[in-house]
Amino acid sequence: MEYLTLNTGAKTPVLGFGTYQISPHDTAEAVKTAIDTGYRLIDTSQDYFNEKEVGDGIIASGIDRHQLFLTTKVDTDGYEETKAGIDESLAKLQTDYLDLMILHWPRPQSLGSYKALEEYYHAGKIKAIGLSNYNIQQTKDLIAQTEVMPAVDQIETNLHLQQGKMHDFLVKQGIVHEAWSPLAQGARVLNNDPILKKIGQKYHKTGIQVLLRFLTQRQIMTIPRSINPAHIRANFDIFDFQLTADEMKQIQTLDQHRSAIGWPSSMAVDA
Ligand SMILES: NC(=O)c1ccc[n+]([C@@H]2O[C@H](COP(=O)([O-])OP(=O)(O)OC[C@H]3O[C@@H](n4cnc5c(N)ncnc54)[C@H](OP(=O)(O)O)[C@@H]3O)[C@@H](O)[C@H]2O)c1
């Protein structure tokens, strides 16, 4: 595993496990499989409706909580609602603290929501706070009106939306870029991409593994999701090779600067 350092000084694994659209029925088993495989970063959200089962999976794995980096996201709006929501997340996840909690996307009362995050951050209940789906202007506006610098911005990032402009902005601000939907929610075609495939042949890796290596080598926190144990293991098996500068450039040429998912519209194009 490789690690990134947040602006809080905390270390986070560069590769983690996403849990969007995993049904509550499958979540605990998938999370346990991921932890058994070696994943130490787990990403969920209040609106994935599986926080309780993520907590169950962590407990079933038997891992020491301090070995894990656990993220959830705010789906409430405003100060009071968000404080109640954070308490509920802590209870459902069955933990005393969160390693990272982020605003899921900009909302009318996001400043109040962020203030609640700041309060829990100062109380040591959330070790790092941040954003998701914030574009450059929205991030600048929030920073100008708040006290604690966001540690992370989690944004759609994949083969066809590489987010070069956002990435450079985030690096300058000392904010870690985190990739959501790194496989664009439909991974099969990636293994047939001629460039990814050719590079993969050299290292005995699939196109998906090459893409995950590309993202993590760019120092992007990357959180692929799967409920298939073989996929969960394959997605983790990317740290025994290093892409050359030329291979990184070849993959960069595949950028189409357009969202594969289409939302939020404020971030659908990386011009
Ligand atoms: N902040 C936000 O607004 C936001 C939005 C979306 C996602 N996210 C986060 O980002 C995480 C990842 O994004 P995502 O869940 O949208 O999708 P994703 O990780 O881009 O793609 C998941 C899909 O890829 C398949 N897959 C995974 N590994 C594979 C492999 N090795 N070979 C073949 N197929 C494979 C999975 O199917 P199998 O289960 O069959 O393997 C699943 O259908 C989420 O789970 C969530 O934590 C955040």
Residues touching ligand 1 (Cβ under 6 Å) are: 18-21, 43, 104, 132-133, 154, 180-185, 187-188, 208, 223-228, 231, 234-235
Domain count, the chain: 1
Task: Looking at the CA of residue 44, tell me the nearest atom of ligand 1.
Answer: 47
Q: Which of 91-95, 171-175, 231-235, 257-261 has the lowest mean pLDDT?
A: 257-261
- Scan for tokens 């954070």, then name that residue: 86
Phi, psi dihedral angles at 102 (to 5 degrees):
-130, 150
The DSSP code sequence of 89-148 is HHHHHT-S-BSEEEESS--TTHHHHHHHHHHHHHTTSBS-EEEES--HHHHHHHHHH-SS
Instruction: Assign residue 183 the CATH number of its domain.
Output: 3.20.20.100
H or E element in which residue 214 lies: helix 207-217
Q: Which domain holds residue 259?
A: 3-267
User: What value does the mean pLDDT take over residues 234-263?
Assistant: 95
Q: What is the pLDDT of residues 161-171, one digit of tens each?
A: 999 999 999 99
Out of 3, 20, 39, 48, which one is annotated catalytic? 48
Peptide linkage before 264 cis (omega within 30 of 0): yes
Q: What is the pLDDT of residues 105-143, one digit of tens each?
A: 999 999 999 999 999 999 999 999 999 999 999 999 999
123 CA distance to ligand 1 centroid (A)?
Answer: 33
Predicted confidence band of residue 269 (pLDDT cuts 50, 70, 90): confident
Q: Which residue's alpha carbon is nearest to atom 23 within ligand 1? A: 185
